[in-house]
Amino acid sequence: MYSLVQAPALTIVGLSIRTQNATAFNDIPPVWSAFFEKAVLDQIPNRLSDDLYAVYTDFDRIPERPEEVYTLGYSFVLGCTVSDASRVPAGFASTQIPAANRAVFKVEPARPDQVGPAWQQIWQMHDLPRKFLPDYEHYSADGAIRIMVSVK
């Protein structure tokens, strides 16, 4: 169902909100809408590609039990990779994704409406040794969608 990779460190610049799984399905779609309506990608300096990254980071804490993940707050950042985040435009945020071992889940069919169901399957994998570093969705310019979950 997933493969394991050593993923490189990334720096992401984009739009950010604070949310939790209980409200994410209402909180996150407006970020996507604003991202495209405001042509955010075109405003990000030092952009490395047109690939998009949806990053889940800054968890309140590491859960002691798998079911606690549903109640924890986290930051959601939607943006792209940059070579330098020293000039982040006003209203934007930057986040660092450290190099880490990651479980890679291919979203198939590669459609945005399939990402939520893929996450729901991941959340049910109580034996997945999650590390709760930033996790992210990678939307490649070629249309592929991958969910990258940090693991021990």
C-alpha to C-alpha distance for 132 and 130, rounded to whole angstroms: 6
Q: Hey, how many other C-beta atoms are within 10 angstroms of the C-beta on 52?
A: 22
Q: Hey, how many other C-beta atoms are within 10 angstroms of the C-beta on 125?
A: 15
pLDDT of residue 69: 64
Residue partners of 44: CB distance under 8 A and separation at least 6: 13, 14, 79, 80, 82, 89, 92
From first to last of its 152 residues, what are the pLDDT tens digits of the chain?
899 999 999 999 999 999 988 898 899 999 999 999 999 999 999 999 999 999 999 988 766 766 666 678 899 999 999 999 999 999 999 999 999 999 999 999 999 999 999 998 998 898 899 888 899 999 999 999 999 999 99
In order of 4, 17, 21, the CA distances from 27 in angstroms are 30, 8, 9
Q: Which CATH class is domain 3-150?
A: alpha beta
Inter-residue contact 54 to 97 (CB < 8 Å) = no
Do you find a cis peptide bond into 109, omega within 30 degrees of 0? yes
Which pTM value belongs to this model? 0.92
Inter-residue contact 10 to 97 (CB < 8 Å) = yes
C-alpha to C-alpha distance for 12 and 33, rounded to whole angstroms: 18
